[in-house]
Amino acid sequence: MRLLLEAAEQVLSEREREILRLTATGASVKEVARELYLAAGTVRNVTSGAMRKLDGRNRFDAARIAAERGLL
């Protein structure tokens, strides 16, 4: 049961995937925010959540991990 819960927690939300897709292209936080009509703080918060889920060291590392796992 615990493994199923942990696996479910590792799934990225659609918003996290959108932000990481743009991050993978080299977009800055401000560029991502502009593209998705979000505040820069929102982009940072969502990115932080994705980084935790993927154990990424930074937003670019999280984007790389997500891409390697076929999550983008």
Predicted local distance difference test score (pLDDT) of residue 46: 97
Predicted local distance difference test score (pLDDT) of residue 4: 40
Q: Is the dihedral of CA 55, 68, 49, 57 positive or negative?
A: positive
Name the pLDDT band for 2 (thresholds 50, 70, 90): very low
Quote the DSSP letter at residue 58: S
Q: State how far the Cα of 66 lies from the Cα of 12, in Å rounded to an integer.
A: 9
pTM of the model: 0.84
Convert the pLDDT of each residue in 18-30 to its tens digit: 999 999 999 999 9
Convert the pLDDT of each residue in 37-71 to its tens digit: 999 999 999 999 999 999 999 999 999 999 998 88
Structural domains in the chain? 13-68 (1.10.10.10)
